[in-house]
Structure 1
Amino acid sequence: MVQQERAARTRQDLVRAAAEVFAQSGFTMASISTISKKAGVSTGALHFHFASKQALARAVEDEAAAVVRAIAGPAPDGGPHPLQRLIDATHALMGRLDQDVMVRAGFGLGSALPRREDAVDLRGVWQDWVEEVLRDAEREGVLAEGVSAADASIAVVAATVGFELLGAHDRTWTSAATLVRFWELLLPRLAAADGLGRLVSGGTPDTVPDRV
């Protein structure tokens, strides 16, 4: 049992080290020796857990995907307004991109060229969820007159993916202040007038991480 716990801890240390190296150097420039050194293990120990750099990248992406899927989860029964769910999720995602190197590296790996065949499409996961929530909003009649879920999805996905990409070099793009400004600009065009006043562009307190 102790040996299994140690092996699990070593594996997690390697995944964390890989995320840090990938986030800093990119997939192509990252080396097995740098990752193993950062994790405090030998390259032989690394290869015991991961056959290749590609396998490490997939492990990082899988952990990042678990975070994204937790943020972009199914609507709870009697849950909040669909647009508030969307606002809250954007704040939660950008907060994790700002604070969590695993999530940041997972998205960054999706931009690496040449693209790996087994890469996890985190942006695709996010896009699918945004489209689903906006379809819910359309069905519930809470979108502004003349606004379709398809058109709204284009604006929200393009903006949030843009924030994620730009935020890799300038964290201002993933800041809460940037998101508030985005939602304050978009919501009057996106939300039906009778529900607009109930929407909180800064996100609801229990769903948005504290950020500096």
Structure 2
Amino acid sequence: MERREQILVAAAREFDRAGFAGASIAGIARTAGVPQGTLHFHFPTKLSMALAVIDEQNSRTFAVVSHGDGSPTAALIGASRAIAELLRTDAIVRAGIRLSLERGEFAHATASFYEQWIGGIVDVFRSAIASGELRTDLAAEQLGATVVPYFTGVQLVSEVRTGRADLFAAVETMWHVLLAGTADPRHRERLFGVVAEAFRGAD
């Protein structure tokens, strides 16, 4: 299992650096420090490695969404902060996101990933609306189907412009825009405070 993890991280680094088409089996084996035969023992093809990276990225990002927070909106804010941190520090998460945007052979796997994400976020938005934290004419389904692409676009543009150096600031601004348009006035200042606390000291 340790060797498999070593190869998976090496594959993620190569996919993150060069994309699926640009990454090579030889390069992944070299990065992992293993013979190509060992690599093929764990992953028969480059595609199987890419799909394993996407699956692991899904697990790591889904794991940061907490449903135990008394404030559903605060839980979403915290999850976005945690995912932003993973995007800056975790090669598997970065590579999985990059592969998910390449489509092609990953179309089914990545479509399923985004459907799961949107479904999970919709559930939290339903709770936020029911709790009175959010007051909007938009349905939870509309919010989820918009916020997931919004976050994806924010992190992608941050990667292109600054190598994600400004990602925390960009996500913080995203939440100010969202809350300005959807937060119930009774909860707005508290939720702005949650955003400020979540991103305080981030750089």
TM-score band (shorter)?
A: 0.7 to 0.9
Counterpart position of 1:176: 168
- Whether 1:72 aligns to 2:40 is no
Report the Cα offset of residue 87 of structure 1: 1.1
What is the 5 A alignment of 1:12-23? 12-23=5-16
**Residue in 2 that maps onto 1:100:** 90
Judge conservation of contact 1:144–1:190 (CA < 8 Å) in 2: yes
Classify the secondary structure of the residue corresponding to 1:142. coil
Q: Give the CA deviation at 1:95.
A: 1.4
- Checking the alignment, whether the CA contact within 8 Å between 2:129 and 2:135 is kept in structure 1 is no
- Please report the TM-score for the alignment, with normalisation by the length of structure 2: 0.87
| TM alignment of 1:1-212, pairs within 5 A | 8-73=1-66, 75-76=67-68, 79-116=69-106, 119-120=109-110, 121-170=112-161, 171-172=163-164, 175-199=167-191, 200-204=194-198, 211-212=202-203
CA distance in 1, matches of 2:171, 2:184: 20
Aligned AA (1:34): G
AA aligned to 1:132 is D
Once residues 200 and 27 of structure 2 are traced to their aligned partners in structure 1, the CA distance between those partners, rounded to angstroms, is 31
Separation in structure 2 between the aligned mates of residue 151 and residue 194 of structure 1, nearest angstrom: 23
Contact persistence 2:7–2:39 (CA under 8 A): yes
> CA deviation digits over 1:126-161, x for unaligned, max 9?
222221111111222221253432343344223101
Letter in 2 for 1:88: G
- Which segment drifts farther, 169-178 or 137-146? 169-178
CA RMSD of aligned residues (A): 2.3
Secondary structure at 1:80's aligned position in 2?
coil
Task: Tell me, yes or no, if the aligned pair for 1:98 and 1:174 is still in contact at 8 Å.
Answer: no
Cα 1:117–1:195 shift into 2, 3 Å = closer
Q: How many equivalent pairs are there? A: 199
Counting aligned pairs with the same residue, the percent is 30
Bigger helix fraction? 2
When normalised by structure 1's length, the TM-score is 0.83
Question: Which string of whole-angstrom CA distances, capped at 9 and with x for unpartnered residues, describes residues 68-122 of structure 1?
Answer: 110124x12xx23111111111111111112111101011111224233663443
Secondary structure of 1:133's counterpart equals: helix
Structure-2 separation of matches of 1:21 and 1:198: 42
Stretches of structure 1 lacking an aligned partner (at least 5 in a row): 1-7
